[in-house]
């Protein structure tokens, strides 16, 4: 992000996604590595891709690693299948996948609640052969309502995310409006008003969206933001996205939440992938 205004960047609140950065380390070592790199906040995809309901000892160990590192958990995905990999989510996929999602809802909420996490991300699911889209959408709404209730129980928001059609061709939410429409449906059905849009600028850019317009239009319903540069899904400054300008636009539009760093470190140790951040950007947050 060459030329970024240091004052503007320092005003942002950055969290690091430990499911895409610091993955050269075992899971339980990543929170401390993030803290050593200067971060006070982390986020995670569901860490156990093969299990929506890991043993309590595994859950406790992760919680202890996060608390012991002195960082806070700001975002956690519900179970979403194999990430990264062929799965893109689980909650709209009939059969075993949606059953795993249901089994995970309270487990994930309990973990998030114990760590003071304020945002739970519920990824939709790929379209599957032999099942009508309307049937999948009805199942999704039912499961999202369950997730919204679990999030509400711990005082968190439920996030709905847009992915991109190039990397996820069977994922149905490939525009900001599509995800926001689902957010609106969940809020109408539950009456909880705790569903929010997860604005991932990398995915939106891959879909060819007008990012300044998306920020202006959707910031009021945004509960979390994630960034990576495009092309390449690398650190800011490795691609062509004007992320400095976009972050300033987000702040001017009223977004004061966390900015999740969800990018590839680019063949180097993750600790070396934050040189684009100006001094002070990872300072204490009041």
Q: What is the mean pLDDT of the segment spanning 203-212? A: 98
Q: What is the mean pLDDT of the segment spanning 245-259? A: 97
Question: What number of other Cβ atoms are within 10 A of residue 2's Cβ?
Answer: 7
Q: Is it the case that residue 11 has pLDDT exceeding 70?
A: no
What are the residues whose beta carbons fall under 8 Å from the beta carbon of 260, sequence distance 6 or more? 14, 15, 16, 17, 43, 74, 75, 224, 225, 226, 227
- Positive or negative, the CA dihedral 84, 85, 86, 91 is negative
Q: Is it the case that residue 8 has pLDDT exceeding 90?
A: no
Please provide the average confidence, as pLDDT, over all residues in the chain: 94
Helix axis angle, 211-218 to 243-252, nearest 10°: 20
CB 183 within 8 A of CB 197: yes
- Asked if the peptide bond before residue 84 counts as cis, ω within 30 degrees of 0, the response is yes
Q: What does the domain layout of the chain look like in residue ranges?
A: 6-272
Assigned token pair, 54? 């890991």
Closest Cα to residue 262, out of 77, 108, 6?
A: 77
99 labelled catalytic: no
Angle 131-135-140 from CA coordinates, rounded to 5°: 115
Q: Is it the case that residue 174 has pLDDT exceeding 70?
A: yes
What's the confidence (pLDDT) of residue 7?
A: 44
Give the phi and the psi of residue 130 in degrees, each rounded to 5.
Answer: 80, 5
For a pLDDT cut of 70, what percent of the chain falls above it? Answer: 94
Q: Is it the case that residue 132 has pLDDT exceeding 70?
A: yes
- Give CA–CA dist 150/108, Å, rounded: 9
> What is the architecture, at CATH level 2, of domain 6-272?
Alpha-Beta Barrel (3.20)
CB 156 within 8 A of CB 192: no
What's the confidence (pLDDT) of residue 9?
A: 53
Give the phi and the psi of residue 135 in degrees, each rounded to 5.
Answer: -70, -40
pLDDT band at 281 (very low <50, low <70, confident <90, very high): confident
Closest Cα to residue 260, out of 159, 155, 140, 169?
A: 159
Q: Is it the case that residue 286 has pLDDT exceeding 90?
A: no
Assigned token pair, 69? 């590192």
Of 11, 135, 161, 216, the catalytic one is 161
Q: Is it the case that residue 205 has pLDDT exceeding 50?
A: yes
262 labelled catalytic: yes
User: Which residue's entry shows tokens 């604005």?
Assistant: 199
What's the confidence (pLDDT) of residue 271?
A: 97
Helix axis angle, 133-153 to 96-114, nearest 10°: 20
For a pLDDT cut of 90, what percent of the chain falls above it? Answer: 92
Q: Which of 3-12, 42-51, 101-110 has the lowest mean pLDDT?
A: 3-12
Of 24, 135, 216, 262, the catalytic one is 262
């Amino acid at each position: 992000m060459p030329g970024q205004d240091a004052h503007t960047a320092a005003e942002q609140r950055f969290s690091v996604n430990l499911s895409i950065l610091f993955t050269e380390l075992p899971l339980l070592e990543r929170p401390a590595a993030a803290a050593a790199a200067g971060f006070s906040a982390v986020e995670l995809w569901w860490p156990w891709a093969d299990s929506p309901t890991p043993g309590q000892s595994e859950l406790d160990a992760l919680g202890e690693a996060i608390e012991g590192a002195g960082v806070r958990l700001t975002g956690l995905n519900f179970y979403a299948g194999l990430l990264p990999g062929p799965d893109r989510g689980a909650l709209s996929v009939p059969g075993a996948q949606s059953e795993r999602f249901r089994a995970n809802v309270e487990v994930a909420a309990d973990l998030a609640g114990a760590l003071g996490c304020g945002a739970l991300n519920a990824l939709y699911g790929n379209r599957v052969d032999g099942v009508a889209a309307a049937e999948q959408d009805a199942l999704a709404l039912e499961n999202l309502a369950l997730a919204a209730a679990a999030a509400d129980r711990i005082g968190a928001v439920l996030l709905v995310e847009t992915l991109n059609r190039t990397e996820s061709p069977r994922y149905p939410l490939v525009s900001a409006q599509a995800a926001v429409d689902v957010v609106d449906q969940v809020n109408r059905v539950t009456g909880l008003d705790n569903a929010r849009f997860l604005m991932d600028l990398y995915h939106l850019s891959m879909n060819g969206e007008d990012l300044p317009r998306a920020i202006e239009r959707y910031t009021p319903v945004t509960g979390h933001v994630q960034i990576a540069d495009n092309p390449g899904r690398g650190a800011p400054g490795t691609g062509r996205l004007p992320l400095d300008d976009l972050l300033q636009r987000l702040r001017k539009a009223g977004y004061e939440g966390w900015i999740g760093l969800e990018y590839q470190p680019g063949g180097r140790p993750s600790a070396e992938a934050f040189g684009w951040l100006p001094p002070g950007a990872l300072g204490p947050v009041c």
